Amino acid sequence: MGRRLVHGVSGAAVFLASVALLSMRHRGTREAAQYPGIGEGVLEKPEQQSEGSPEGSGGRGQKDLKLHPPEAHRTEGSLTLGDIFIAVKTTKKFHQSRVELLLDTWISQASEQTYIFTDEEDGALKRRMGGRVIFTNCSAEHSHQALSCKMATEFDAFLASGLSWFCHLDDDNYLNPRALLKLLSSYAETWDVYLGKPSLNRPIRASETLPDNQTKSVRFWFATGGAGFCISRRLARKMVPWASGRNFLSTSELIRLPDDCTMGYIIECKVGGQLIPSALFHSHLENLQLIPTSQLMQQVTLSYGVFENKLNVIELSGPFSPQEDPSSRFRSLHCHLYPDTSWCLQAVGW
């Protein structure tokens, strides 16, 4: 499997060049216009930047995350969806059951910005996504090595794109593009921003492997990949020595944890950044029925799955019944957000 992991990372290099070419026209136009206010001293440095060297402390030592209001980072800029690189991680066995649902729903509203990262060729998916489906050749296993292989490919594709924001999602997430754009518009890409939702109420502890068979205890916050997370380009550039290409797999091996944990480890223990928690991201690890129906339209990501041995989906009325839209309620949610979608208009009584 190790050979396939290495091949998966290096085999994606051909795709990275095409991503860069796709983004050149957009990037050039955006940079020529620039963001009004950015670089003109109107933004103060966000308080989430950690002080001192993280290497000596094994990451941030505080027990609680500090929630910094977006207003502290607000920019006057004109961020668009075209500035965001959206990566969706999946595997071949979920192409039909999960990815097609996403293609029918939220990806239809952000198709030019969304890239699917998977492990095996699929002609049907290729026909629907064109050059925006990336066959990583990573293993289909759910091991930290295989997951890290895909994450490394996502990260390098983002770097090659030249875009301002990297947002990672799983294939069981519904993304509200409008809510995402509103959230990211509250932060400047010129600062180190790491947005997401921790799945734990405390920093995770890990043993970092050192030379001569020594280990060091580290602890850090991380945004769970199951809810999605976003990273600014400025922060991503600082992560390159540990996160680009084969370096990501090597870094993952230091703590032997999955890809989302490795991201948090790199950002907090290597770069000195800090997770900015957001309650607008949601994974199947939380009780989704507790989200008030009145607030569903404001959430950035939602999910579905099994929680405490019960089907875990959002509670939402119409236009499709629970029998017609049983596993996720994503079709009904999509029709509430985008009622002009053709198949929404065909729903009885909608």
Tokens of 272: 């000195």
- Cα 199 to Cα 112: distance, rounded to the nearest angstrom: 30
3-state helix, strand, coil in the chain (%, to 5): 45, 15, 40
Can you tell me the mean pLDDT for 161-184?
97
For 89, the 3-state DSSP assignment is strand
Q: Which residue has the higher pLDDT, 47 or 141?
A: 141
Closest C-alpha to 253, from 68, 6, 16, 31: 6
192 is catalytic: no
What per-residue confidence (pLDDT) applies to 66?
A: 57
Q: Which residue type does 260 have? A: D
**Per-residue confidence (pLDDT) for residue 4, from 0 to 100:** 52
Reported as a single tens digit per residue, the pLDDT across 261-308 is 999 999 999 999 999 999 999 999 999 999 999 999 999 999 999 877
Mean pLDDT of 172-176: 98
Between residues 301 and 59, the one the model is more confident about:
301
Q: What is the mean pLDDT of residues 320-340?
A: 92
Region 182-203: mean pLDDT is: 93
Report the chain's mean pLDDT, rounded to a whole number: 82
**242 phi/psi in degrees, rounded to 5:** -115, -15
pLDDT at 120 over 70: yes
pLDDT exceeds 50 at position 209: yes
Give me the pLDDT at residue 291, please. Answer: 97
Question: What gap in Å lies between CA 152 and CA 81, rounded to an integer?
Answer: 23
Check residue 103 and give its pLDDT: 96
pLDDT in tens, 147-162: 889 999 999 999 999 9
Residue 67: per-residue pLDDT: 52
pLDDT at 68 over 90: no
- Residue 12 has a pLDDT of 54
Q: Which amino acid is at 321?
A: S
Quick check: 18 and 153 in contact, CB under 8 A? no
What are 252's two structure tokens? 């993952």
Cα separation, 301 vs 184, whole angstroms: 13
Average pLDDT over residues 96-107: 95
Q: What is the mean pLDDT of residues 302-331?
A: 90
Predicted pLDDT of residue 142: 76
Of the candidates 172, 192, 260, 325, the residue annotated as catalytic is 260
Residue 155 · residue 248 · CB < 8 Å: yes
Q: How confident is the model at residue 25 (pLDDT cuts 50, 70, 90)?
A: very low
Summarised one tens digit per residue, pLDDT across range 211-259 is 888 999 999 999 999 999 999 999 999 999 999 989 999 999 999 999 9
Q: What is the DSSP letter of 253?
A: H
Q: What is the pLDDT of residue 308?
A: 79
Could you tell me what percent of the chain has a pLDDT over 70? Answer: 77
Lowest average pLDDT, out of 22-26, 105-109, 172-176, 341-345, goes to: 22-26
Residue position matching structure tokens 């991680």: 89
CA gap 199, 283 in Å, rounded: 8
3-state SS class at 145: helix
| 145 band by pLDDT with thresholds 50, 70 and 90 | confident
Residue 262 CA to residue 242 CA, distance in Å, equals 10
Q: What six digits make up the tokens of 7?
A: 């091949």
Residues 6+ apart with CB under 8 A from 180: 84, 167, 230, 300
Residue 85 bridge partners (DSSP)? 166
